A and B are shown apart, each in its own frame.
Chain A
C-alpha cells in the first residue's frame, strides 16, 4: 500500500519559472512532512519540512503548502535555477518525526537555462 503518492514523475521548467510538486497521503497519523532533494550519487538532503499545525512554510525560494483536510502537501520552488535540477522526494512520518519516513516515489526536476 503506497501511503504517500507523489506527482508528477518528472518535470521540466524554464529558468526563473515556478516548479510545483504535489504529494497526497493516506495515514492521518502522519504529523511530520519533509521534502528531500537528491543529486545523482548522493544521499537525500533535507530541504524543508512542515508539521500539520501550519498551512505554509517558506525558506528562501522553497515553500511548502499544506492542506490537512485534503491530506495533501506541495513543494513550490520559486525562480527555479539549473542548480535545482535534482530528484525531489516528499515524505511523511509519525510521532513528531521520530519514526521511519515513508517516501513518495520522487520527481525528477530539470530546469532548463
Chain B
C-alpha cells in the first residue's frame, strides 16, 4: 500500500510569511508524528497525535508552530511568521497504536530566505 506522503516536497518562503505543510499518513494508522531535521539539531520531535486524545505538543519550539489533524487522518503543520532558523526538513511519521513502529514520509524541505 501507499506510504506516508507529504506536500509540498520543497517550500521556499520569505521571512515573516506563514507556511502550511501537509502530511497524509498510512491508512489505518492512528498515531501521527511531526519531526524536524536540521543540520545543527539533528532529528527533533515536534508533536504527536494519537486517535482522539489531546496531542502531545511538548516538542513545539515556539508558539509560532501549531498543528492539527482533521478526521483522524491528514495533518497540517503551520509555522507563522517564519524565521531563518525554521529552515529544515520537516518529517511526518505514522504508526499503528499497537505496534509503535513509525513509518516516515519523504519530508518537506523548508527554506526561509
C-alpha spacing A43/B103, complex, angstroms:
9
B72 interface contact, C-beta 8 A: no
Q: Is A98 within 8 A of B50, CB to CB?
A: yes
Is the C-beta of A101 less than 8 angstroms from some C-beta in chain B? yes
Least CB distance, B98 to chain A, in whole angstroms:
8
- Assess whether B42 is in contact with A49, with CB atoms less than 8 Å apart: no
Number of chain B residues whose Cβ lies closer than 8 Å to a Cβ of chain A = 27
Q: How far is the CA of A91 from the CA of B43 in the complex (A)?
A: 10
B18 close to chain A: CB less than 8 A: no
A109 to chain B minimum Cβ distance, whole angstroms, is 16
How would you classify the secondary structure of chain A's contact residues: helix, strand, loop or mixed?
loop
**What range describes how many residues of A lie at the interface?**
20 to 34
A103 touches B97 (CB 8 A): no
Asked if B106 and A46 sit within 8 Å, CB to CB, the answer is no
The number of A-B residue pairs with CB atoms under 8 Å apart is 60
Q: Which residues of A from 88 to 102 have beta carbons under 8 Å from B?
A: 89, 91, 93, 95-102
Interface string of B23-51 (1 = CB under 8 A from A): 00000000101010000001111001010
A43-B4, A43-B91 as given contacts; A100 in contact with B104, CB under 8 Å: no
Report the bound CA distance from A95 to B99 in whole Å.
Answer: 11
- Which chain B residues numbered 60 to 113 have a C-beta less than 8 Å away from chain A? 91, 93, 95, 97-107
Q: Is B16 an interface residue (CB 8 A)?
A: no
Nearest CB in chain A: distance from B9 CB, A: 9
The 4 closest A-B pairs by CB, nearest first: A97-B100, A43-B104, A103-B43, A100-B45
